[in-house]
Amino acid sequence: MQFNNKASLKRWSAALLLPWFAAGCASVAPGLHFNKKDSASGYSSSSASNAGTSAGASDELTDAVLKPITPQLVKAERDIREKQVTQDISKLLGKPEPYSIDSGDVLSIVVWDHPELSNAATVATGMQAGTGADASTSATTAPPAGFIVDHEGMIQFPYAGPIKVAGMTQDQARNLLTSKLSKYLKQPRVTLRVQSYRSKRVYVDGEVRSPGLQAINDIPMTLVEALNRAGGVLPTGDQSQVVVNRNGVNYQINLPQLVQRGVNPGSIMLAHGDVVRVRSRDESKVFVSGEVVSPRALPMYNGRLTLNEALGESGGINPLSGDGSQIYVVRKNGTDQVVYQLDGRSPGALAMAEGFELAPKDVVYVAATPLANWHRAISLILPGALSSAVGASRPVK
């Protein structure tokens, strides 16, 4: 056989070698492969590896459990989520109680028909500020007008002397002061209220509009109240990932789940020193890769994202190269690997995909069709081999 030129020889060689490469391309095709093994259940275990990855990475997914996504599986997963034991937050639940005075609070006390007693705090404040101080200096250095509860929980009031009011409500403190003054005044009428709340506070951080300190006042400081005072949760915040830190212990709060279970988030009472943090949605992502139109990392919506939503957000399965019968969800449960498979060609597959909820850090992978794998394998082994084979059938000019 004679060839007119080297180009003819190249086209003839490519056409001759293509069938040989096609027979072995299945073992070297790029992408993620799942080799099913028969078991007692008929469909339980597999080995997963990714071409081009390290041996250590492939060993981690060896013996991964492969489960087909069926209506029975979707229902079982839903039951597990509903019965899942959440963290005990009973220590955070309680009923609103009247505000109790504590060290640092400033009290406003008025004794009716005795203005000289009511102005005692103002006069004392002016004396402490200094006679020669200018207006700007006194405005910044002078303590607030009123009776300040000292570090021992005491206040000093004329005629009554030192009175311990820490731990009392406003009514209890007023009754105590009235009884003290009744020894010197006839039927004294006293009005006592907290003028400045400075003893108790909580800190709100994370994905809220106005993070910072929130003072606890006569309005009960519930979790909902603290979030509202901070301007509410931002669109980037995850309401299912609210953390309350109390005395070094973190309590995970899932607000949508509490409402679903009939627990009012307003019953979560915050205490002095609590730290509330709203985590970002970016901390709980699902990764979609493989033969989809737009592979990407997707944030979950308040801890929830279904397989159908993940595929939709990624543009759906690539119609040119995606295999709808091989849609995988790779999940790591502790040290175990679980791989779920959905056959998108089966009737009701979209309904099952909508009912199958993903977990944070899940990997959704759509495998390529055998033809796409074959084309890529040939292109890797012999770049330009397909175009050369096609050209081999054309007559030489």
Check pLDDT > 70 for residue 9: no
Q: Which domain holds residue 64?
A: 16-68+284-382
Q: What is the pLDDT of residue 192?
A: 93
Check pLDDT > 90 for residue 165: yes
Q: Please tell me which of 57-71, 78-92, 274-288, 323-337 the model is most confident about, judged by mean pLDDT.
A: 274-288
393: in domain: no
Structure-model confidence comparison of residues 360 and 385, the more confident one: 360
- State whether 315 and 361 are in the same domain: yes
pTM, two decimal places:
0.68
Q: What is the rounded distance in angstroms from the CA atom of residue 327 to the CA atom of residue 323?
A: 8
What's the pLDDT band for 104 if we cut at 50, 70, 90? very high
Task: Residue 1: count other Cβ atoms within 10 Å of its Cβ.
Answer: 4
What's 223's DSSP letter? H
Average pLDDT over residues 139-166: 81
What residues contact 249, with CB distance under 8 A and at least 6 apart? none
Query: Would you say the C-alpha torsion 58, 61, 67, 73 has a positive or negative sign?
Result: negative
- State whether 206 and 122 are in the same domain: no
- State whether 191 and 211 are in the same domain: no
Task: Residue 32: count other Cβ atoms within 10 Å of its Cβ.
Answer: 21
Average per-residue pLDDT for the chain: 78
Check pLDDT > 90 for residue 395: no
Q: What is the pLDDT of residue 387?
A: 54
Q: What is the pLDDT of residues 166-209, one digit of tens each?
A: 999 999 999 999 999 999 888 899 999 999 999 999 999 999 99
- State whether 182 and 240 are in the same domain: no
Q: What is the rounded distance in angstroms from the CA atom of residue 290 to the CA atom of residue 50?
A: 12
Q: What is the pLDDT of residues 244-285, one digit of tens each?
A: 999 999 999 989 888 888 888 889 999 999 999 999 988 889
- State whether 255 and 212 are in the same domain: yes
Helix axes of 370-381 and 6-24: crossing angle, nearest 10 degrees:
130
- State whether 278 and 298 are in the same domain: no
Q: What is the rounded distance in angstroms from the CA atom of residue 35 to the CA atom of residue 339?
A: 12
- State whether 276 and 294 are in the same domain: no
Q: How many domains does the chain have?
A: 3
Final residue in a domain of this structure, among 147, 171, 196: 196
Task: Please report, for the domain that includes residue 245, its CATH number.
Answer: 3.10.560.10
